[in-house]
Amino acid sequence: MRDVVIIGGGLSGLSAARELQRLNIPYRLIEVKKRLGGSITSASTDGFVLDGGAFSFQRGDDWAFLDELNLQHALVPVVDSHHRDLVAFSGGTQMLVDALAKDLTGTFIHRMAISSLGTLDGKFTLCLENGLMWDAAAIIVAAPARHAERMFRTLAPDFSYRLLNYGYDTITRVSLGYKQGDMPIPPMFPWDVAIPFYSWTDSPQRVPPGHVLLNLGVRMLPKGVKPDALVQEIHRQIKAQGKPVISRVDFWEDADPLPPHLPNFTEKTTALEGLLPAGVALAGSDYHGLSLAARVAAGKRAAQQIGAYLKS
Ligand SMILES: Cc1cc2nc3c(=O)[nH]c(=O)nc-3n(C[C@H](O)[C@H](O)[C@H](O)COP(=O)(O)OP(=O)(O)OC[C@H]3O[C@@H](n4cnc5c(N)ncnc54)[C@H](O)[C@@H]3O)c2cc1C
């Protein structure tokens, strides 16, 4: 059987790959970066686990899928500026990516992008950025809308046109580790739309004993802003005492998709999907839901949709 190509190795692409594997459908996953995870990236330093992308999630999400991944005990509590009941992953959100990828046996191609999609002699074709061409039995696009727009210009021009000018907000993720007592709790920022949310934790899995970790989302244009200056400004605003013992700053220019916040988003996505040829499925944060669990479910659903297409 010709295989299914999954474009994108973030949470959605990996969830789709797991489901294809469960259905015994051969697949190939192509990811332009050298690492898997997309907008999820975590690192452990000096006893702190710092997330550079997605960090905290609603406790009330449907976390049943964690059981399959042996991550049922992976969530730790986080205190939130907006009093939401949030959790984070004890080993950073990357532990979810690693668990999703762990048992995958399909082919993975890194550091190569798909530039366009088409059909030839009744087969799907994919053009790679190095000029090579693949064919495929079906395609799962798990790449953000801003990239999908270009890919689909030939295969589904109406679909591509609707993705044009898909909007995003920037997010700068800032993590600051403090000695307990140095950071006021709760940290109070002067009201400022530049810092729409922040949360903190002293969970022993995320910080060394006697410390606390503050994680913020900052909205600002990345150009020209030096990470050190940003850290100093936040430190000044919360009136912290000692210096942070650790800090991490990650700029994401196209981070927060805007359409999912608009009314009728689900209906609009369904209409969009109706513009795609059978055998092409969408998965990803730009098309399905705002919660992490919704994105995992959407990846799985895309694989099931392709499974049904291949059977038919
Ligand atoms: C800074 C930031 C903070 C966030 N914080 C939170 C949070 O606290 N809570 C929460 O619930 N959500 C948060 N999110 C959202 C969450 O991280 C994402 O919704 C989720 O990780 C998206 O996964 P995805 O697989 O759909 O997309 P992505 O993670 O964007 O993955 C898509 C992948 O496709 C690859 N790709 C793109 N184009 C091509 C191509 N042409 N060929 C091959 N590969 C390609 C990309 O390199 C990428 O790896 C945050 C997002 C960001 C950016």
With 90 as the cut, is the pLDDT of residue 190 above it?
no
The answer, yes or no, to whether any atom of ligand 1 lies below 6 A from the CB of 13, is yes
Q: How far is the CA of 256 from the centre of ligand 1 (A)?
A: 9
Ligand 1 atom nearest to 14, measured from its CA: 25
Q: How far is the CA of 270 from the centre of ligand 1 (A)?
A: 21
The reported pTM is 0.96
The ranges of the chain annotated as CATH 3.50.50.60 are: 4-38+98-166+262-311
Cβ contacts of 274 within 8 Å, gap of 6 or more: none
Ligand 1 atom nearest to 283, measured from its CA: 26
Q: How far is the CA of 66 from the centre of ligand 1 (A)?
A: 19
The 3-state DSSP class for residue 233 equals: helix
- Helices 11-22 and 292-311 cross at an angle (nearest 10°) of 40
Ranges of beta strands (E only) in the chain are 4-7, 27-31, 42-45, 48-51, 57-58, 75-80, 86-89, 107-110, 114-120, 123-128, 133-136, 138-141, 168-179, 197-201, 211-218, 246-257, 280-282
Range among 39-43, 221-225, 254-258 rated most confident: 39-43
The answer, yes or no, to whether any atom of ligand 1 lies below 6 A from the CB of 246, is no
Q: What is the pLDDT of residues 238-264, one digit of tens each?
A: 999 999 999 999 999 899 999 999 999
- As a whole number of angstroms, the distance between CA 40 and CA 54 comes to 5
Share of the chain above pLDDT 90, in %: 87
The mean pLDDT of the chain is 94
Q: What is the pLDDT of residues 266-276, one digit of tens each?
A: 999 999 999 99
With 80 as the cut, is the pLDDT of residue 289 above it?
no
- As a whole number of angstroms, the distance between CA 30 and CA 117 comes to 14
4-38+98-166+262-311 carries CATH number 3.50.50.60: yes
Q: Which residues on neighbouring strands pair with residue 139, listed in sequence order?
A: 5, 280
The ranges of the chain annotated as CATH 3.90.660.20 are: 43-93+168-257
- As a whole number of angstroms, the distance between CA 287 and CA 269 comes to 6
The 3-state DSSP class for residue 166 equals: coil
Residue 73's pLDDT is what? Answer: 96
How far is C-alpha 267 from the geometric centre of its chain's CA atoms?
A: 22
The protein residue whose alpha carbon is closest to atom 13 in ligand 1 is 54
Q: How far is the CA of 14 from the centre of ligand 1 (A)?
A: 11
Q: How far is the CA of 99 from the centre of ligand 1 (A)?
A: 17
Options 3.90.660.20, 3.40.50.970, 3.30.365.10, 3.30.2320.20; CATH of 43-93+168-257: 3.90.660.20
Mean pLDDT of 19-32: 98
With 70 as the cut, is the pLDDT of residue 216 above it?
yes
Q: How many CA atoms lie within 13 A of 304 on its CB side?
A: 6
The 3-state DSSP class for residue 16 equals: helix
